[in-house]
Amino acid sequence: MTLAVRGSYDHEEAARHLGSLSEPAYLATAQHFGSAETMRATAAGEREGWVYARRGNPTVGYLEDTVAALEGYQVDAEVSAAVTTTGMAAITLATMPFLSSAVGARPNIVASPACYGSTVMVFDKRYGEERGVGVRWVEDPLSVADWERRIDEDTRFLYAESPSNPTVQLVDIPPLAALARRARIPLIIDATLATPALMRPLALGADIVVHSLTKAAGASGRSMGGAVIARHDLDLRRQPAELAADFAGYLRRGPMRDMGSVLSPFNAWTLLADIRELRSRVDAMSASALRVAEHLAGRGDVVEVFYPGLPSHRTHHLARRDMWLVDSDGPGREAVNRFGFLLGFRPAGGVPAAHGVLDRLRLFWRANNLGQVKSTATIPAIGTHQQIAGDDPVPPDMIRLSVGLEHADDLIEDLDQALTGSGVPGPAEPAADRAE
């Protein structure tokens, strides 16, 4: 909590900004220089400065420092971060540099298939079909042997979501990290659904972590953003020394600068405001999500519930081991397991029933975002995963719930009336929206 509130903006830094208690928003695209020599030295990296917004911005830098501090907490390594325009930009920037043909003509990647739909599209379509990268999806993400037999001398990285969207499956990070170290390739984990409040993959052995800051980190729903956080001094085969020494710094100095996927300082400023309460917010949302999941699991008209906090979930044992509310232990206190704010369920009756339940929800917002203070519901097969429908392991009748900060009793009451059919469908969409 202290790291989220303070970040790198301390008393000394505040004194340089007229004592402002909050990080100032530098809504400017460029920096003025007092002389040609100052311009040259700053652009060359010989003195402190930010030069031009595509290369950096002070407000964006405050957010990068804060995210690195949160994800690097209790990690025995130096850690740095680069923030991006969106979570998908973070995923692309975290993976693309490893696919250079300069270090091998036929690169391949090994990944868990339990991934967000757009991630699958990037790997299969943008990398595989358009650039000839071999994409090797493991059949069982919990089988380390399954991962290992797909790795060869041209494999560039291992990739997984933990927990995954929307089936909230975890992977066993420590043995996967050991496997990646033996192969001298990075293990990249998308930990958006856990957030640093519940799990820090770098502490479990991962090399690189990605987040969509649009989700729980930016729970007000006002800004989009992403982050790449990496440990320094990675031992990587056939990769440039600069990349391995400080991957996030390498992204800022090269790919991000050249390709322009930089975060707006205004968005960074709003995300800084949201991220301060990350721990307490995720704690409350997760506690409510567990209550909702347990309630749904007890209903006879619900076929299946997907939530790692339930003993019936396939990766419950990993969640019990790895997902803890940060700093919940202490003198006289036991550490508290928290299992996140996302869950899914399948109502009896198949796809028509799922559509009917979604339409009858009154309190949940029918929306494809997650991690917000407002609870949302969607059917991934027609929303977040529509572009890969038919090839995706997500059931077509699954409803995904993102539990926000409403009272859990109110959310449960809304779900009960929607499941029993006692409610009425929500208001029709505006005509302009229907036309789209």
Q: Across the strands, what pairs with 296?
A: none
**Close Cβ partners of 299 (under 8 Å, ≥ 6 residues apart):** 419
Range 143-149 contact pairs with CB under 8 angstroms and sequence separation of 24 or more: 144/172, 144/175, 144/176, 144/179, 147/110, 147/176, 147/179, 148/179
CA distance 122 to 136: 13
Q: What is the CB neighbour count within 10 angstroms for residue 338?
A: 27
What are the start-end ranges of the H helices in 235-329? 241-245, 247-253, 255-259, 265-275, 278-297, 316-322
- In one-letter notation, the amino acid at residue 304 is E
Cα(336)–Cα(71) distance, rounded to whole angstroms? Answer: 19
In the 3-class helix/strand/coil scheme, how is 55-87 assigned residue by residue? CCCHHHHHHHHHHHHHHCCCCCCCEEEEEECCH
What is the per-residue pLDDT for 5?
A: 74
* Structure token digits, residue 36: 């040609």
| 192 closest CA partner among 277, 313, 71, 65 | 71
Domain locations along the chain: 2-275, 278-435
d(CA 88, CA 396): 24
Second CATH level (architecture) for the domain 2-275? 3-Layer(aba) Sandwich (3.40)
pLDDT of residue 311: 98
- Positive or negative, the CA dihedral 351, 165, 373, 328 is positive
Tens-level pLDDT at each residue, the chain (436 residues):
677 777 777 778 878 876 777 788 889 999 999 999 999 998 988 998 889 888 899 999 999 999 999 999 999 999 999 999 999 999 999 999 999 987 767 999 999 999 998 999 999 999 999 999 999 999 999 999 999 999 999 999 999 999 999 999 999 999 999 999 999 999 999 999 999 999 999 999 999 999 999 999 999 999 999 999 999 999 999 899 999 999 999 999 999 989 988 999 999 999 999 999 999 999 999 999 999 999 999 999 999 999 999 999 999 999 999 999 999 998 889 999 999 999 999 999 999 999 999 999 999 999 999 999 999 999 999 876 666 554 557 899 999 999 999 999 999 999 999 999 855 454 445 444 433 3
Residue type for position 74 = Q
Q: Which residues pair with 109 in a beta bridge?
A: 135
Q: H or E stretch including 195?
A: helix 195-198
pLDDT at 386: 61
CATH superfamily, domain 278-435, is Aspartate Aminotransferase, domain 1 (3.90.1150.10)
Beta strands 155-161; 208-212: pairing state: unpaired
H or E stretch covering 161? strand 155-161
Cross-strand pairs, 189: 160, 209
Cβ atoms of 187 and 242 within 8 Å: the answer is: no
Q: What is the pTM of this model?
A: 0.92
CA dist 170 and 190 (Å) reads: 11
Copy the structure tokens of residue 14: 């505040």
* β-sheet bridge partners, residue 135: 109
Which residue reads 């009756």 in tokens? 349
